[in-house]
Amino acid sequence: MKSAKVLKKIATIVAATSLIATMFMGCGGSTATKTDSGKDSATSSGDKLEMWTFVDMHAKFFEKMLVSWNEKNPDKKLDINFSVLPYDDMHNKLQSALLSGQGAPDMVDIELGKFPNFLKGDPQLEPLDDVYAPYKDKVVQSRVAIYSKDNHVYGFDYHVGATVAYYNTELLEKAGIDYKSIVTWDDFKKAGEKYYAATGKNFGTADTSAQWQEALMLAEQKSDFTDASGKPQLNSPQMVKALTTLRDMQDAHAIATIPGGQPDQPDAEAAINNGDYAVVIKAMWYMSRFLEYMPDQAGKWAIAPAPVFEKGQPRSVGLGGTGTVVTKNAKNKQNLKEFIAYAKLSEDGEKAIWDDLGFDPINTQLWSNKDITQNKDNKFIKYFKTNPFDTLNEVKNEIGLIKSTEASPNIYNVLNTVTLNSIFEDKKDIKQSLDEAQQQVENELK
């Protein structure tokens, strides 16, 4: 009889254990496996390849590039299936797949903020050095360095991501403000105050879930989130100055927090479309958001260099980005690598990047090609009041760099969940918030 009781006890514990075990294993996402339909493809190797991306436009771009690649290279034809997944979902699935060595796609888009995660340890990505070599002298080196580790290049970007200011001229004119007169942050603040007094609406944005503005302000002061050795320096004097300036503008009603936390969010785009904000400081790639989410605003927005602390400081910084990579267990690797280089670095590719995506291509030779920059049929040139290339070429030699290091994902996470909210929403002390952020990141990196 006694054994029955013991058994019962064990059964209770087992039941309790299994219940709780489901708790912390329940969140493991299963990687969807795609079955190959097995249809006869006309590719040289017959492999059906898979690409993941998190931006619909990127998939369309690659689809188009694939058609022209297959036409030009009948002996190296590829057959790629493109899947568009949600941002977080895609990166998380990719990480699990690469960690387990199973289920990863052949090529994939990895966003810059997540990229260092994939370079940790022994990168499960294919070096692209050989296919990069022919383009080496034509592209912006810093945009390649951020996807490299130990002198190997692992990803090619779509764009430079030069940061500029977008002004809603229609709204500004009503308030009697000329955006061309805004050179420094001080001018910006005064214009903002004037705008708020005249309209009761917000001028610029105080972002709580993105660090772009801070990155720009750091680059203007020739500083960075990390020091030369890649260690975080979130409480640096430059960082304090950047946030003090922003908070000062917020207190003066020149900038205000925005629904969604930053301009590149659906809620925020709705607010901007609605005329609730008149200025957006963002990278060139934000142009595509205007065309996609605010088509009615065509002709109202002008592009100009971003403000600086003092005249003479560099007025831009390359921000954001997405590296297309080939994974280690990809099929048909060599052809795939050549295809990516063709799509993202060749002249054909760079032209398509500008025409279809509206990105500032990393091959800057294109920036001065009149056929492209003065093309009146281009949808981006048509949409904006000023020619995007005028601003781009104006700041061409002033585009700073924010390094991408192993600490970057941690830094961005702390800033965008805690620090910027503390500073702009809860109005906590700036230095103290930054000290706490620094401490948190240091602990996480231990």
Partner 1 sequence: MFKGFIYNKKAAPYVFILPFILVFLIFFVSPMINTIIMSFQTVLPGSRKFVGLDNYTKLLGDKVFLLALWNSFKYMVWTLILLIPIPMVLACIINSKLMVGREFFKASLYLPALTSVAVAGIVFRFSFGEQATSLMNQLVALFGMDPYKWLKNGTTGFIVLLILACWRWTGVNMLYFLSGLKNIPAELYESADIDGASIWQKFRYVTIPQLKPTTIYVLTISIYAGLAMFIESYMVFNGNNSPNNIGLTIVGYLYRQGIEKNSMGYASAVGLVLFLIGMAINLIQLKLNGTFKKED
Residues of this chain that interact with partner 1 (CB under 8 A) are 5, 9, 12, 14, 16-27, 29, 88, 91-92, 95-96, 98-99, 101, 117-118, 120-124, 208-209, 259, 261, 267, 270-271, 409-410, 413, 416-418, 421-422, 425-426, 436, 440, 443-444, 446
CB of 178 to partner 1, least distance (A): 30
Residue 118's alpha-carbon distances to 52, 89, 203, 328, 386, in angstroms, are 15, 15, 38, 12, 39
Instruction: Tell me whether residue 99 or residue 133 sits nearer to partner 1 (CB atom).
Output: 99
Determine whether 35 is exposed, middle or buried from the number of CB atoms within 10 Å of its CB (0-12, 13-18, 19+). Answer: exposed
CB of 295 to partner 1, least distance (A): 21
How many residues are given for the chain? 446
CB of 443 to partner 1, least distance (A): 5
CB of 340 to partner 1, least distance (A): 21
Instruction: Tell me whether residue 16 or residue 67 sits nearer to partner 1 (CB atom).
Output: 16
Output 249-253 pairs: Cβ under 8 A, ≥24 positions apart.
Answer: 249/185, 249/188, 249/189, 249/192, 249/204, 249/206, 250/206, 250/424, 252/189, 252/192, 252/193, 253/192, 253/193, 253/196, 253/202, 253/203
CB of 95 to partner 1, least distance (A): 6
Determine whether 142 is exposed, middle or buried from the number of CB atoms within 10 Å of its CB (0-12, 13-18, 19+). Answer: middle
Phi, psi of 435 (to 5 degrees): -60, -45
CB of 101 to partner 1, least distance (A): 8
CB of 29 to partner 1, least distance (A): 8
Token reading at 31 = 């990687």
Instruction: Tell me whether residue 391 or residue 422 sits nearer to partner 1 (CB atom).
Output: 422
Instruction: Tell me whether residue 27 or residue 228 sits nearer to partner 1 (CB atom).
Output: 27
Instruction: Tell me whether residue 70 or residue 95 sits nearer to partner 1 (CB atom).
Output: 95
Instruction: Tell me whether residue 93 or residue 315 sits nearer to partner 1 (CB atom).
Output: 93
CB-facing half-sphere around the CA of 291: CA atoms within 13 A: 18
Rounded to whole angstroms, the Cα distance separating 404 from 409 reads 9
Biggest alpha carbon distance in the chain? Answer: 93
CB-facing half-sphere around the CA of 389: CA atoms within 13 A: 21
Instruction: Tell me whether residue 130 or residue 425 sits nearer to partner 1 (CB atom).
Output: 425
